Structure 1
Amino acid sequence: MKKIIFFILILLSTANAYAAPAVSSEELFKEAEKYDGETVIYKGEVIGDIMVREGFAWLNVRDKSDAIGVFCPKDMAGGIKYKGGYKFRGDTVSVWGVFHRSCPEHGGDTDIHAEKITIIQEGRAIPHPLEAGKVKASIILPAIALGLAIIYLIVRRFR
C-alpha cells in the first residue's frame, strides 16, 4: 500500500513538469546560451509563407518583438490556415520544441525544432475598405494632370 501511495505522489508531483511557461523571442535571443538545446514553449503568430521541403516545413512565428524560424514535420504544419501579412492575421500557435541558438543542421540559423504545434486562435482576413476620398482623388488628379498637359501643349504650339 505504501508503494502505491508513494507512486501516486510521484506522479502528482511531476504532473506540471512539462507545463513550463512560454518564453518570448526577446528572452530567447538575450539568453540564447541558457536555452540552447532546451525544450521551450514559444507562442506567436504564423507569418509569411510556409516552406515545405522533403517532408518537413519551415515557418516563421512572430511574437510581440521578433520572429523565430520553426522547423517541423510537414504534417504538423498542415492545420495552419492563415499566415500573417497585409491581407491576413495569421493563426496564433504554441510551439513546443527544442531551441537551437546556432543549429548545425540548418547552417547556423537560430531556430526551434518543433515537437508539437497547437493552434491557439485561428487567424482571419483583415478588411481594407476603399476610402471614398482616395477613390475620388485617383479620378480627379489624373484628369487635372491631363488637362494641364493639354494646356501646355497648346501654349507651346502657338509660341
Structure 2
Amino acid sequence: MSKTFAGIILILAIAIFCPAIGYAQEIIPLNELVENGKAFDGKNVAVRGEALGEAMERGEYAWVNISDPTNIMGVWMKKEDAEKIAFFGDYKHKGDIIKVSGAFHRACAEHGGDMDIHGIAVEIAEQGHPVKEEVETRKIVVGVVLTLITLCVAGFYYKIKQ
C-alpha cells in the first residue's frame, strides 16, 4: 500500500513540476498572428506552412517565406535550418511543409519594423515534390477553335478592306 501511495505521489509531483513534458505546442495560423499581433508580440509561437520562393541567405542566417491557407510570413532562421528545405513552392514545385517554433515580432526592430518570426526550431513536416502541370484536352481544343475563328474574321476583314 505504501509503495502504491509513493508511486502516486511521484507521478503527481512530476505532473505538477514538469507540465511541459508531453505537450505539443499548438500550431497558430499565420493570419491569427497578423490580426492579433499585439497579443503575440515577443512570445514563442509554432507555425506550419509551405516554404515558398527561395531561401535568401544573409551571412549565418536566411529568410524563408512560408504560406499557410490563411496568410504568408517571413521566418528568420539559421542558414543550416534553411538548407534542410529541399523544395520551395513555385509554379513547378510543391514546397516542403515546415514547422517553425520561435519568437514572433509584430514590428521587428532588427529587421526594419517588419512582422516576422525568429525561428529557433525548424523541422520538415512534409517533403515537397515537383508538380507536373497538365493542360486539359478541352482547353487545347477551345484554344485552337478560337484561333481559327480569329484568323477567319481577320481574313474576312482584310478582304472587305481591299
- TM-score if structure 1 supplies the norm length? 0.80
1:78 aligns with 2:103: no
1:15 positional shift: 4.7
Which residue in 1 is equivalent to 2:95?
Answer: 90
Code of the residue aligned with 2:46 in structure 1: it is: I
1:135 positional shift: 1.7
Q: 1:24 to 1:153 in 2, by over 3 A?
A: closer
Which residue in 1 is equivalent to 2:6?
Answer: none
Bigger drift between 44-53 and 103-112 goes to 44-53
Unaligned ranges ≥5, structure 1 = none
Which residue in 1 is equivalent to 2:70?
Answer: 65
Code of the residue aligned with 1:47 in structure 2: it is: L
Which one of the candidate residues 134, 145, 151 is aligned to 1:146? 151
Which one of the candidate residues 114, 131, 138 is aligned to 2:136? 131
1:127 positional shift: 3.4
Give, in whole Å, the separation in 1 of the partners of 2:82 and 2:123: 9
SS state of the match for residue 57, structure 2?
strand
What is the percent sequence identity of the aligned residues? Answer: 33
Give, in whole Å, the separation in 1 of the partners of 2:50 and 2:158: 55
Which residue in 1 is equivalent to 2:105?
Answer: 100
Q: 1:107 to 1:17 in 2, by over 3 A?
A: farther
Which residue in 2 is equivalent to 1:156?
Answer: 161
Which one of the candidate residues 101, 119, 123 is aligned to 2:124? 119
RMSD across aligned C-alpha pairs, in angstroms? 2.7
How far does the alpha carbon of each residue in 1:16-44 deviate from its partner, in whole angstroms, 9 at most, with x for none? 28743222223322332232222211111
Which residue in 1 is equivalent to 2:26?
Answer: 21
Code of the residue aligned with 1:29 in structure 2: it is: V
Aligned residue pairs, count: 153
Bigger drift between 139-148 and 117-126 goes to 139-148
Give, in whole Å, the separation in 1 of the partners of 2:146 and 2:14: 77
Write the mapping of 1:32-47 to structure 2, written as runs, cut at 5 A: 32-47=37-52
Aligned structure 1 segments of 4 or more residues deviating by more than 3 angstroms = 8-12
Q: 1:147 to 1:45 in 2, by over 3 A?
A: same
SS state of the match for residue 128, structure 1?
coil
SS state of the match for residue 105, structure 1?
coil
Bigger drift between 129-138 and 116-125 goes to 129-138
Q: 1:134 to 1:22 in 2, by over 3 A?
A: closer
